[in-house]
Amino acid sequence: MKTNKADDAFSRQSFLGVNSQSIIERTVVGIVGLGGGGSHIAQQLAHLGFLNYVIYDGDLFEESNLNRLVGATEEDIKNKKPKIDIARRLISRIRPHAKIHATMSKWQTSPGRLKSCDIIFGCVDGFDQRRQLEAMARRYLIPLIDIGMDVHQPEEGSPTISGQVILSMPGHSCMQCMGFLNENNLAKEAGNYGDAGINPQVVWSNGLLASAAVGLAVDLITDWSKSLRSPIYLSYRGDSPTLTEDPIFAYSKKVCKHYPLKEIGAPTFTKL
């Protein structure tokens, strides 16, 4: 019996459901930040067959990025290639017919396309950036999957790697409810603004976190596991290594009071 080439190409992921590939191909995904984590996500989504992308990153590729940015080459260093162009090239080589709306600037300056996404991956630096992106996603009822990692070097002993994968669902607990974002870490970050230094990053932890994030996204849109019904907060410990539900998540508020469902859509301003 002759098989359809399109069906054959995705036969290994047919367990996702009868209409899963059609859902994947129609889904519009946003990726904010295309460094170590975002580049992994872009690559994996392309392999899965996603065809509609809205991507943001204003940075140029540098030599220090080569240890973790998927799809980059030494030639890109010489050419000072924008990260967004590397991501576009990576996706297009896997899926030549993909539609990619790329913006080489901060998403805040041109958020229009992001509002049309079905799901957003946040791969940004800093707590305030996360708060802003989550607020935007909540206003337009878009699920947001945040990933991030850090390396901590104590005065004594070995360094430790930590990270998180958070699925933020409109109407449910947000990153503030979960305790990941709080006034202390936001204030501390604001006080150190412009003095962050160089944050250590490695390819394997970025890859692990990105893979978990992509898995959540696919489950969310296809419902293949029949079990993803609420937010997720996973903590990564690189020295263990483990990726498990963060203990504090059990104590988070189930209904979010920071982003009421009645406060959706474009904001309106009243003249005082």
What are the DSSP calls for the chain, one per residue?
Answer: -PPPHHHHHTGGGGGG-TTHHHHHHH-EEEEE--SHHHHHHHHHHHHHT--EEEEE--PBP-GGGTTT-TT--HHHHHTT-BHHHHHHHHHHHH-TT-EEEEE-S-GGGS-TGGGG-SEEEE--SSHHHHHHHHHHHHHTT--EEEEEEEEE--SSS--EEEEEEEEE-TTB--TTTTTSS-HHHHHHHHHTTT---PPP--HHHHHHHHHHHHHHHHHHHH--SS---S-EEEEEETTTTEEEE-GGGGGS-SB-SSS-TTS-SS------
pLDDT per residue as tens, the chain (272 positions): 344 555 688 999 999 999 999 999 999 999 999 999 999 999 999 999 999 999 999 999 999 899 999 999 999 999 999 999 999 999 999 999 999 999 998 999 999 999 999 999 999 999 999 999 999 999 999 999 999 998 888 778 888 899 999 999 999 999 999 999 998 888 887 766 444 446 778 899 999 999 999 999 999 999 999 999 999 999 999 888 899 999 999 888 778 999 998 888 877 666 77
Q: How far apart are CA 187 and CA 204, in angstroms?
A: 30
Pairing of the two strands 99-103 and 52-56: parallel
144 strand-pairing partners: 120, 168
CATH tag for 16-251 (out of 3.30.930.10, 3.40.640.10, 3.40.50.720, 3.40.720.10): 3.40.50.720
The residue among 182, 156, 178 whose CA lies nearest residue 168 is 178
Structure tokens at 108: 């805040």
The residue among 111, 63, 104, 74 whose CA lies nearest residue 87 is 104
120 strand-pairing partners: 30, 144
Q: How far apart are CA 245 and CA 242, in angstroms?
A: 10
Structural domain boundaries of the chain?
A: 16-251
The residue among 269, 268, 265 whose CA lies nearest residue 115 is 265
Only one residue has tokens 């899963």, namely: 20
- The angle subtended at Cα 143 by Cα 142 and Cα 144, nearest 5°, is 110
The model's pTM is 0.92
Q: Are 21 and 51 in contact (CB under 8 A)?
A: no
How many residues in the chain?
272
State the amino acid at position 20 in one-letter form.
S
Residue 195 is predicted with a pLDDT of 42
Q: Tell me the pLDDT tens digit for each residue of 183-237.
A: 888 888 776 644 444 677 889 999 999 999 999 999 999 999 999 999 999 999 9
